[in-house]
Amino acid sequence: MGDATFTSTSPPGANAAPRLALAGISKQYPAVKANDDVTLAVAPGEIHAVLGENGAGKSTLMKIIYGAVRPDEGEIRWEGELVEIGSPAAARKLGIGMVFQHFSLFETLTVGENIALALDEKFDLKALARRIREVSADYGLDVDPQRHVHSLTVGERQRVEIVRCLLQNPRLLIMDEPTSVLTPQAVKKLFTVLRRLASEGCSILYISHKLDEIQALCESATVMRGGRVTGRVDPRKETHASLAQLMVGHSLPDYARRAHTPGDARLGVFNLSVASPDPFGTSLDNVSFSVRAGEIFGIAGVSGNGQAELLASLSGEIRDRHAAPDAVVICGKPAARLSAGARRALGFAFVPEERLGRGAVPAMSLADNGLLTAHRENMVRGGWISAKAVRAFAERCIQSFDVRCGGSGALAQSLSGGNLQKFIVGREILQEPKVLVVAQPTWGVDVGAAGFIRQQLLDLAARGVAILVISEELEELFDICDRIAVLARGKLSPVRATGETNAEEIGLFMAGLFDGRRGEPAAVDSIDK
């Protein structure tokens, strides 16, 4: 049972034959044993959480159940019968549906076409589009079946994954971080749906790093650490601190804030209006704000309200050659027309919201992914790449930021979400930027890794770096930010000192209500242009 004491639980349906029972499940990868003699059972109508750090083996176990990965050892019983789940199609035939943490969507297809691919029966696209609209409206997930996936934000893609799964009427529903980028209102509505499904006999396996969700939704939980099951608890009888300790094996330290005084503005945005290149996107309307040296400035908001357009405008991915050069100012230099590389040369660093595909190239090693943005760190000399310097940088990042992987040669796609996020954040911090823009810094990251990343941002701000954090996690923004604003319908709300506002006011801002008016511009600190 490990080194902790666990509480025995008897969830609803526990006296019935388990819908799913795993025994002795093991899976070995070249660099790590992802699952080691795992045993787990889920009864009909049970909402069962699986808890653990990033890399604990949760996602691998769920993929085994869904038929996406084959175990090396062990047995799977479905309603008492021994089964081999050789593919996702076989899992769906049994009645198993899964919402993945990393999206499994085709970028060039529409939402409706992506959902159709997961359906095993014959379908008519027009009829399916009507079903998608009905289901998404019922669940409050707002999905347009005609949109192409490449035009969707991360939050919108998550909604597609959830709707696609619910359309299959599963008897066992696996949810791997399903609410990472959903609004609190959408989460509540989703929980209502999940409770209704459970009351009708659907079993639910629920993975989340949001401990308040686990306590609100789940009546039982299996805890994993290092690929092994270390026990089972009733999360409703635990505290956040005790659950976190069970997951990571030790208590988590409080955030350490170093006393410092914010300095001059390092990042300035002035009357920035950007037409979204996506016809379904949200254009920016006269956005203005500044971020000072030593300050963490937070922007909240529901995904799809212009965050993607703002990030692309700041990073240089979107450049309007007709815009005023000083619509974006980095360290006193007009930068609105500069390339992404030229902005980095001014001291700008960037962590995008999408880890795989934008933050890192999945099929490339960590060393090569480090080279992509940190090549100025003495990795290129006289036009030649120094393989030794590239490996050394990646190894320093792995060691400094506790990235658990198979070394600098490990492929980015082989890492768990939290470990890849630590590598990407570390890669940018090690370049000693003057300005750091971070989107969704702890999306899908366990409590230990999330605390580590937030502490790194606090330490970086204390060293005088100007940090902009764009996040849908209000708790995160209130924890680490000095000031906070909201982006709603492409407009920026008034800026508030974190200690002078609350979740209720920020919630009104998220609905576009800025002190009773819509679209009131935010005040901007003076900046030397």
Report DSSP letters for 447-499, one per residue: HHHHHHHHHHHHHHHHTT-EEEEE-S-HHHHHHH-SEEEEEETTEEPPPEEGG
E-strand spans in 156-195?
172-176
Report DSSP letters for 361-404, one per residue: -TTSBHHHHHHHHHTTTTTEETTEE-HHHHHHHHHHHHHHTT--
For 492, phi then psi, to 5°, come to -100, 135
> Which residues in the chain come in under a pLDDT of 70?
1-16, 101-102, 154-155, 180-186, 250-254, 444, 515-529
pTM for the whole structure: 0.69
pLDDT at res. 15: 54
User: Which of 67, 70, 9, 68 shows the shortest CA–CA distance to 42?
Assistant: 9
pLDDT at res. 253: 65
> Please, how many CA atoms are within 13 Å of residue 118, restricted to the half-sphere of its CB?
28
Query: What type of residue sits at position 250?
Result: H
C-alpha triplet 325, 327, 333: angle, nearest 5°? 60
Q: What are the structural domains of the chain?
A: 1-95+171-251 (3.40.50.300), 104-169 (no CATH), 264-347+434-529 (3.40.50.300), 359-432 (no CATH)
pLDDT at res. 14: 46
Is 120 exposed, middle or buried, given 0-12, 13-18 or 19+ CB atoms closer than 10 A?
exposed
pLDDT at res. 503: 83
